[in-house]
Chains A and B, each alone.
Chain A
Amino acid sequence: MFELLDNALKALAAYPPLAALAGLLVIGGGVWLMVRGERDRKTNGTTAQIPAWMLYGPAHDAMASVHQLAEQGRVQIHILERMEVVLKEIAREQLKARQALEMIRNESRLR
């Protein structure tokens, strides 16, 4: 491995050009990253940097809220059904009471 690199170095005559090339490559790569960063910033801003998992929490909470809403709706319907039964019973009782009162009034007139 090192012999291969050594031979490559010798073939390139010396270390300085290779090191300069590495430096230029890094600078070129850095400049390219700056240009790409500018482009990405204009298209996405930093929103693209927000990790996806940060959105999982709120979405999970929203799903739990929807489930709670559905459960509350079901309980409300059950309560309303019971109220309807009770109201019908009350209405029946009131009808009977009205009939009784009318009978009392009619009897009192006959006397």
Chain B
Amino acid sequence: MNRLSYYIDGRMFEWVMSISMILLSVEIFIWPETLKASAFQWITLVLNTEIVGIVLIGAGIFRCSALVANGSSMVIGPRVRAIGALAGAAIWVQFGMALVKLSIDQNFPSPGIPFWFMFTLAELRVVYRAVLDVRTPR
């Protein structure tokens, strides 16, 4: 349990979002209709379902790898985390925008809107914070 805490403490948000990305990509690959037939159908107008899946699984795996290797490479690891968080933010804003579009169509706001936009902002914060963790030899 202590070993688990070593990896999770202070990086809980990144872990949760990374694992969610991987799980969602698996869901998209197994059931491509996940996006097409859901409230997020508008995303498919902007991004191909396969592209969303590939970006999610790629960013998710890279982020998890960087989090597991936490401390092993203080140059590459934090930058991978930052780029992964940026990819996450770009995807989450599409989810938020899709819900905005849905809300306009149905004339009342979706309860998911605050969550997706807050996820986007939090990922942007992770981008900034991860870059601060970079340690280059002097």
Cross-chain pair count, CB within 8 angstroms: 80
Contact between chains at B124 and A29 (CB < 8 Å)? yes
Residues of B near A22 (CB, < 8 A) are 93-94, 96-97
Given contacts A22-B93, A31-B86, A34-B82, 11 further A-B contacts (CB under 8 A): A9-B104, A18-B97, A19-B94, A19-B97, A22-B96, A23-B97, A30-B90, A37-B127, A38-B134, A40-B132, A41-B131
What is the CA–CA distance of A6 and B108 in the complex, to the nearest angstrom?
12
The reply to whether the CB of B7 lies closer than 8 angstroms to some CB of chain A is no
What is the CA–CA distance of A2 and B108 in the complex, to the nearest angstrom?
8
Binding site for A on B (CB under 8 A): 42-43, 45-46, 82, 85-86, 89-90, 93-94, 96-98, 100-101, 103-104, 107-108, 120, 123-124, 127-134
A interface majority secondary structure: helix
Contact between chains at B45 and A19 (CB < 8 Å)? yes
Q: How large is the interface on A (under 10, 10 to 19, 20 to 34, 35 or more residues)?
A: 20 to 34
Residues of B near A15 (CB, < 8 A) are 42, 45-46, 97, 101
Q: Which of B85, B97, B108, B129 has the most CB of A within 10 A?
A: B97
